[in-house]
Amino acid sequence: MIYILLLVLTYLLIALNRQLLGIPGFFHYSGVRPFLKWYFRDKLKRVEEVYYWKMAESLGNQGQWSILPAYVLSFDLIDLKIFWLKVTVFMLVNYLWWLFCAASLVKKYIPQTPALRKHMARVSNH
Per residue in 48-64, pLDDT (tens digit) is 999 998 998 888 888 87
Q: Is the pLDDT assigned to residue 9 strictly greater than 80?
A: no
Handedness of CA 65, 66, 69, 71 (dihedral sign): negative
- Exposure string of 71-85, with b = 16+ CB inside 10 Å and e = fewer, is bebbbeeeeeeeeee
Reported confidence tier of residue 46, pLDDT bands at 50, 70, 90? very high
Sign of torsion, CA 86 90 95 100? positive
pLDDT value for 111: 87
C-alpha dihedral over 111, 113, 118, 119, to 10 degrees?
Answer: 150
Confidence of residue 125 (pLDDT cuts 50, 70, 90): low
Amino acid at 122: R
Confidence check: pLDDT of 89 > 70: yes
Please give the Cα distance from 105 to 60 (Å, whole number): 12
Predicted confidence (pLDDT) at residue 37 exceeds the cutoff of 90: yes
